[in-house]
């Protein structure tokens, strides 16, 4: 049992949709990263702060590493790889429910005659991990989707043949299976020291950023394939002047006025988000407002606008204007 206090930074890395954000939210017991079924939902590094009796673990949730073509996608991959620098431990997540996909991709990536054809996302990650001198766990997620756990053995053997891992830990982030073991093993690798953040923090991200992420999550969930990843959210107004206007006897909570713009790349996408007679935009606003009120602990007046910013995801100047800074 660990007696001394420990604290450190732990990066979560993997291809899209392996469950990095779900795992971080499960471990800290709070929703810090947004989650959708769509790949490449996470675009920035997001820190989640996990306080336990033995110390403090600061998780770095990162965008899924993938073959990037657009400027936005290249930005996301740069963020993910940059997050591996200066951390105390890396958790490399893989999806137990898609073992054949990863193996085939890495086998293609190993062909000497065509080194760039089929170069797999997992192979990209392993190549970078092998260049680092940072302790790394292979975390096999979604084991709840595997009927026979013995089927994990070939997958573990394959990854162990590709990289060097200090531990191999199977988990289910959605079911919190194996997560206690994971936390204890993480703590063993962290240095002794005081907490890096105050204990009441769940993240170091400002409220405006979290609000923008909630709105973006609801856009993705309500539009699905119709608006893949062509949206960005800008919080234009965050007025807290009535936040402390509380009347406990009357049961009245404070109020925050928020106005945000949903930026899309084409006129057709604007119409999809607004919907017939504004129905979809109203739904997005209603869903987002409920989560924002839960986050901020007060009433929220939320007004959403939709704006076309043509090809913003392919232009670095537009990305900077929308809050995506160069690494």
CATH code for position 221: 3.30.300.20
Tell me if 86 sits within 8 A of 9, measured CB to CB: yes
Q: What is the pLDDT of residue 247?
A: 77
Q: What distance in Å separates the CA atoms of residue 91 and residue 170, rounded to the nearest whole number?
A: 12
Q: Residue 199: inside a domain, yes or no?
A: no
Q: Do 162 and 244 reside in the same domain of the chain?
A: no
Residues 21 and 164 in one domain: yes
Domain count, the chain: 2
Burial 148-175 (b: 16+ CB within 10 A, else e): eeeebeebbebbeebbebebebbbbbee
* Rounded distance between C-alpha atoms, residue 260 and residue 292, angstroms: 13
Measured between alpha carbons, how far is 51 from 268 in angstroms, rounded to an integer? 45
The residue that leads in pLDDT, 9 or 65, is 9
In this predicted structure, what is the pLDDT of residue 124? 86
Does residue 46 lie in a domain region? yes
Interatomic CA distance for residues 245 and 317, integer angstroms? 40
* Dist. CA 64–CA 83, nearest whole Å: 12
Which uninterrupted H or E stretch holds 92? strand 89-95
Residue 195's closest CA among 31, 7, 21, 19? 7
pLDDT digits (tens, 9 = 90+) for 42-75: 778 899 999 999 999 999 999 888 887 788 888 8
Q: Is the pLDDT of residue 123 over 80?
A: yes
> Is 1 a domain residue?
no
Q: Tokens representing 83?
A: 């997050």
- Does some domain include residue 72? yes
Q: Which residue has the higher pLDDT, 44 or 104?
A: 44
What is residue 115's predicted lDDT score, i.e. its pLDDT? Answer: 36
Domain shared by 177 and 212, yes or no: no
Q: Is residue 194 in a domain?
A: no
Q: Which of 16-25, 59-68, 220-229 shows the lowest per-residue confidence on average (mean pLDDT)?
A: 220-229
Confidence of residue 35 (pLDDT cuts 50, 70, 90): confident
How far apart are alpha carbons 211 and 171 in whole angstroms?
30
d(CA 9, CA 193): 12
**Model pLDDT for residues 297-319, shown as the tens digit of each residue:** 999 999 999 999 998 888 888 88
> Does residue 200 belong to any structural domain of this protein?
no
Pick from 92, 94, 96: nearest CA to 152: 96
Last residue of a domain, one of 163, 189, 215: 189
Report residue 177: phi and psi, to 5°: -85, 125
Nearest-CA neighbor of 50 among 185, 196, 207? 196
Q: Which of these three, 157, 189, 221, is where a domain ends?
A: 189
The whole-number average pLDDT for the span 156-181 is 93
The 10s digit of each residue's pLDDT in 126-147 is 999 999 999 999 999 999 998 8
Summarize the confidence of residues 9-23 as an average pLDDT: 94
Contact 215, 233 (CB under 8 A): yes
Q: From 298, 59, 49, 8, select the one nearest 198 (Cα to Cα).
A: 49
Residue 223 has pLDDT above 60, yes or no: yes
Which of 73-77, 130-134, 172-176, 255-259 shows the lowest mean pLDDT across its residues?
73-77
pLDDT of residue 148: 81
Same domain? 55 vs 145: yes
Round the average pLDDT of the chain to a whole number and report it. Answer: 87
Task: Let me know if residue 250 belongs to a domain.
Answer: yes
Same domain, 183 and 239: no
Q: What is the CATH number of the domain that holds 123?
A: 3.40.50.300
Do 110 and 155 reside in the same domain of the chain?
yes
Please state the length of the chain.
327
Residues 158 and 214 in one domain: no
The reply to whether 198 falls in a domain is no
What is the distance between the alpha carbons of residues 36 and 22, in angstroms, rounded to a whole number?
10
Residues 15 and 102 in one domain: yes
Q: In terms of residue numbers, what domain contains 73?
A: 6-189
More confident residue, 324 or 262: 262
User: What is the four-CA torsion angle of 18, 86, 26, 125, rounded to 10 degrees?
Assistant: 10
Write the pLDDT tens digit of every residue in 189-210: 999 999 999 988 999 999 999 9
Residue 114 has what pLDDT? 37
> Residue 106 is inside which H or E element, if any?
helix 99-109
Are 38 and 152 contained in the same domain? Answer: yes
One domain, residues 180 and 138? yes
The residue to which tokens 């990650």 are assigned: 125
Residue 112 pLDDT > 50: no
pLDDT-based confidence at 294, cuts 50/70/90?
Answer: very high
Residue 171 and residue 265 in one domain: no
Strands of 55-61's sheet in order across = 46-52, 55-61, 6-13, 89-95, 136-141, 167-170
- Residue 170 shares a structural domain with residue 252: no
Domain boundary among 189, 216, 237: 189
Give the pair of three-digit tokens for residue 159: 């990854």
How far is Cα 326 from Cα 40, in angstroms, rounded to an integer?
A: 18
Number of Cβ within a 10 Å radius of residue 236:
10
């Amino acid at each position: 049992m660990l007696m001394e206090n420990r604290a450190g930074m732990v990066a979560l890395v993997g291809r899209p949709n392996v469950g990095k954000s779900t795992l971080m939210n499960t471990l800290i017991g709070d929703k810090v990263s947004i989650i959708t079924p769509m790949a490449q939902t996470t675009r920035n590094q997001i820190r989640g702060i996990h306080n336990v009796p033995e110390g403090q673990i600061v998780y770095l949730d990162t965008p899924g590493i993938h073959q990037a073509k657009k400027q936005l996608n290249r930005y996301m991959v740069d963020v993910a790889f940059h997050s591996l620098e200066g951390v105390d431990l890396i958790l490399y997540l893989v999806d137990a429910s898609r073992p054949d996909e990863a193996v085939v991709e890495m086998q293609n990536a190993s062909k000497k005659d065509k080194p760039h054809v089929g170069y797999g996302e997992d192979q990209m990650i392993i190549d970078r991990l092998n260049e680092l001198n940072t302790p790394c766990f292979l975390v096999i997620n979604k084991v709840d989707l595997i009927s026979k756990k013995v089927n994990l053995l070939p997958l573990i053997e394959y990854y162990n043949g590709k990289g060097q891992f200090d531990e191999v830990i199977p988990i289910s982030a959605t079911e919190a299976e194996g997560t206690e073991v994971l936390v204890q093993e993480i703590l063993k690798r962290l240095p002794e020291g005081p907490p890096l953040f105050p204990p009441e923090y769940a993240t170091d991200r400002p409220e405006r950023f979290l609000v923008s992420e909630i709105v973006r999550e609801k856009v993705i969930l309500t539009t699905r394939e119709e608006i893949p990843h062509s949206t960005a959210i800008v919080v234009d107004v965050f007025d807290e002047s009535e936040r402390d206007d509380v009347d406990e006897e009357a049961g009245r909570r404070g109020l925050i006025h928020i106005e945000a713009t949903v930026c899309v790349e084409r006129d057709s996408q604007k119409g999809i988000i607004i919907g017939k007679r504004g129905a979809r935009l109203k739904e997005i606003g209603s869903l987002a407002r409920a989560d924002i009120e839960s986050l901020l602990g007060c009433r929220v007046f939320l007004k959403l606008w939709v704006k076309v910013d043509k090809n913003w995801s392919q232009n670095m100047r537009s990305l900077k204007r929308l809050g995506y800074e160069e690494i």
